[in-house]
Chain A
Amino acid sequence: MRAHFIALAVLGAAFFHATPGLAHHSNVAFEVTKVVTITGVVKDFQWRNPHTWVLLAVDDGKGGKVDWAVEGRAPGILLRAGWSKNSLKPGEMITVDMSPARDGSKTGLVARVTKADGTILANAPPPTQ
């Protein structure tokens, strides 16, 4: 099982070498108590289990772009937080508050997404009272 998982991850990383790795992992891969903000243009929004992914191009400050991949919670809980499969479209500018990966890769765990019109997409519904 583990070998199979690693094989899939390696295969995936090889196939998607142009974007940061999107391997499935738990929250411990991220510095969850730290939040940084990036702003960029959506390249792809992947609405799938067990995590959603937003791929975006961010200015690197040197006239170029750098690709980021940020991981969100699963579609089920995001639906109840106000998201939908069509919440983010390629080409739109968004701001992402996220916890960076511990390994320094261009990946993060979404705390919230803010759209250009000010709409805030939280990473979970309001707490149940």
Chain B
Amino acid sequence: MTTRKTILPLLMLGIPVLCAQAPPDFSGVYYPLNPFGANALGRGAGAGKQPPATGGKQKGPPPRPTQSAPLADGSQGRSPDAPSLTPPYMAKWEMIRKSRMAGSSEYDNTAKCLPPGMPAMMNMAYGMEVMQTKDKITFFSELNDALRRVYLDGRKPTQKILDDPTYAGYSTGHWEGDTLLVDTVALHENSFIEGFSPHSDVMSIKERIRFLSPGLLEDRITVTDPKALTKPWETVKTYRKATAGTDELREFACPEGLGDAK
């Protein structure tokens, strides 16, 4: 009886431990789905050596591209999916739009070799590498060699950190089943929410990151900013794990090209 009394609580304590699954391993190189938009042209289809026009079943060369990059100067107004800005920040956006439409890179951090910042960084247009340990997950963006760390060991941002905002911000996270929940704060104002919309110093970000299926990673992002946004902005990014042959990112070294030709 004494033995049963001793063992039973131990077993009960042990059950959750035995049942708890190890968190998934997100490590690897990924590419986003539709990084340049659904209408991105000039890429992919038709690339490679083309057979002669007389070559049997060939239907001739691929169509000539009609666009070189997505239109991102604001000339078409704001997308219905864009963050809903408060009047002061809408005025800032209008100023940025005029600058872009004039062909200026003044408000394009990427053109200045600055980090894209969170959450725009999670667009990962040129690919992403995830490095995971028990206590930390690091997300690396090939575009501008940008990096962010998510601490999983229970630490919280100190006042010193909150007083020192950065492009990537300060991220802490924990596992809820197979989903990684991340909170990001300490984001400074010299970045743009999705790459275009301005934000304030009180912006914070919540993410839920999980595998939808093997190799298909989803990041559900919610941005809150009481000064700049009339309501939280939500976006979802999806990435496919790279296969052999494309599973290496390359150095970006942006300042190599600052200035002019070599």
| A and B assemble together | yes
Mostly, the B contact residues are loop
Question: How many whole Å from B171's CB to the nearest CB in chain A?
Answer: 25
Bound-state CA distance A51–B254 (Å) is 9
Q: Give chain B residues whose Cβ lies under 8 Å from the Cβ of A124.
A: 36, 40, 42-44
Bound-state CA distance A16–B262 (Å) is 9
Most buried by A among B31, B51, B62, B103: B103
Q: Known: A35-B64, A122-B46. Contact between A28 and B72, CB under 8 A?
A: yes
- The range of chain A's interface size is 35 or more
Query: Is B230's beta carbon under 8 Å from chain A?
Result: no
Instruction: State whether B104 touches A76 (Cβ < 8 A).
Output: no
Residue of B nearest to A29 (CB): B103
Query: Is B117's beta carbon under 8 Å from chain A?
Result: no
Query: Is B65's beta carbon under 8 Å from chain A?
Result: yes
Query: Is B80's beta carbon under 8 Å from chain A?
Result: no
Instruction: State whether B127 touches A109 (Cβ < 8 A).
Output: no
Bound-state CA distance A123–B142 (Å) is 16
Q: Give chain B residues whose Cβ lies under 8 Å from the Cβ of A81.
A: 43-44, 47
Bound-state CA distance A24–B52 (Å) is 38
Residue of B nearest to A13 (CB): B260
Instruction: State whether B45 touches A126 (Cβ < 8 A).
Output: yes
Question: How many whole Å from A48's CB to the nearest CB in chain B?
Answer: 5
Query: Is A58's beta carbon under 8 Å from chain B?
Result: no
Q: Give chain A residues whose Cβ lies under 8 Å from the Cβ of B138.
A: none
Instruction: State whether B240 touches A128 (Cβ < 8 A).
Output: yes
Of A13, A24, A119, which one neighbours B111 at CB under 8 angstroms? A24
Instruction: State whether A125 touches B252 (Cβ < 8 A).
Output: no
Bound-state CA distance A76–B69 (Å) is 17
Query: Is B6's beta carbon under 8 Å from chain A?
Result: no
Instruction: State whether A122 touches B44 (Cβ < 8 A).
Output: yes
Query: Is B27's beta carbon under 8 Å from chain A?
Result: no
Query: Is B108's beta carbon under 8 Å from chain A?
Result: yes
Q: Which of A62-98 contact B (CB under 8 A)?
A: 74-77, 79-82, 97-98
B 105-131 binary contact with A (CB < 8 Å = 1; else 0)? 100101111000000000000110000
Q: Which of A28-54 contact B (CB under 8 A)?
A: 28-30, 32-33, 35, 37, 46, 48-51, 53
Query: Is A111's beta carbon under 8 Å from chain B?
Result: yes
Instruction: State whether B70 touches A32 (Cβ < 8 A).
Output: yes
Residues of A within 8 A of B (CB): 1, 5, 8-9, 11-13, 15-16, 19, 21-30, 32-33, 35, 37, 46, 48-51, 53, 74-77, 79-82, 97-99, 101-103, 108-112, 117-129
The 3 closest A-B pairs by CB, nearest first: A12-B260, A8-B259, A126-B44
